[in-house]
Amino acid sequence: MSSWLVSLHFALRHFLIRNSLFDIRNSNVGLLVFDKMPLVRAAIAPSLSMVAVLACGCGDDGRRPTYRTEGTVTLSDGAPLSEGWIEFQLADDTRAPTAKARIQLDGRFELGTYAEADGAIEGLHQALILPPFPPIADPGRANATPPDPKRYPQINPRYRSYRTSGLKFTVTSEPSKNRFEVRLED
């Protein structure tokens, strides 16, 4: 083997060992032997690095700012809607993420768009209300009782759709103005 080739062999071997990308060991004939698993790890490492960079939130993630938005939902008689869901959708951008919240026992809610209770995007929103669904009665039980109307109230079906609910609210960048009282009519 020529001297420059031997030098190149040792320089390459030294570089690979120093950078520890591969598990290298000598063979009986003086050639480099590569273990396959480190090669797989070396091929996957750049991909994992890219995934880690993307997952860490570096750069613009496309999220729009949200503002604390809360309120209460009451029935026509003034009693709170004791369970269910409320959702807000931007009126002019139906592709934007919706803000939603579980309605608490006292009728209160606090909207969340990207995380629980992180608020809603600024702008005019349409809203819908999904009441709690009563448990399905077992037709085999002779003494099955109907669901409690206080816990599972019947609300007008129009509130289950953005298009028909008639509920519109404007979320602003000033959280003190983002408290809404929603009163459901029969």
User: What are the pLDDT digits (tens) for 1-12?
Assistant: 555 555 555 555
Task: Using alpha carbons, select from 44, 9, 15, 39 the residue that is nearest to residue 27.
Answer: 9
pTM of the model: 0.63
> pLDDT tens digit string along 148-181?
777 778 899 999 999 999 999 999 999 999 999 9
pLDDT at res. 133:
80
pLDDT at res. 4:
54
CATH code for the domain defined by 66-183:
2.60.40
Mapping DSSP onto H, E and C, the string for 126-179 reads: EEEEECCCCCCCCCCCCCCCCCCCCCCCCCCHHHHCHHHHCEEEEECCCHHHCE
Is the per-residue pLDDT at 38 higher than 60?
A: no
For the chain, what are the domain ranges? Answer: 3-55, 66-183
Higher pLDDT, residue 59 or 174: 174
pLDDT at res. 143:
66
Torsion angle of alpha carbons 157, 159, 163, 169, nearest 10°?
Answer: 170
Is the per-residue pLDDT at 184 higher than 60?
A: yes
pLDDT at res. 15:
55
Higher pLDDT, residue 52 or 169: 169
Quote the mean pLDDT of the chain: 79
Is the per-residue pLDDT at 50 higher than 90?
A: no
Tokens 């929103």 sit at which residue? 125
Overall average pLDDT of the 69-91 stretch: 96
> pLDDT tens digit string along 93-137?
999 999 999 999 999 999 999 999 999 999 999 999 999 887 776
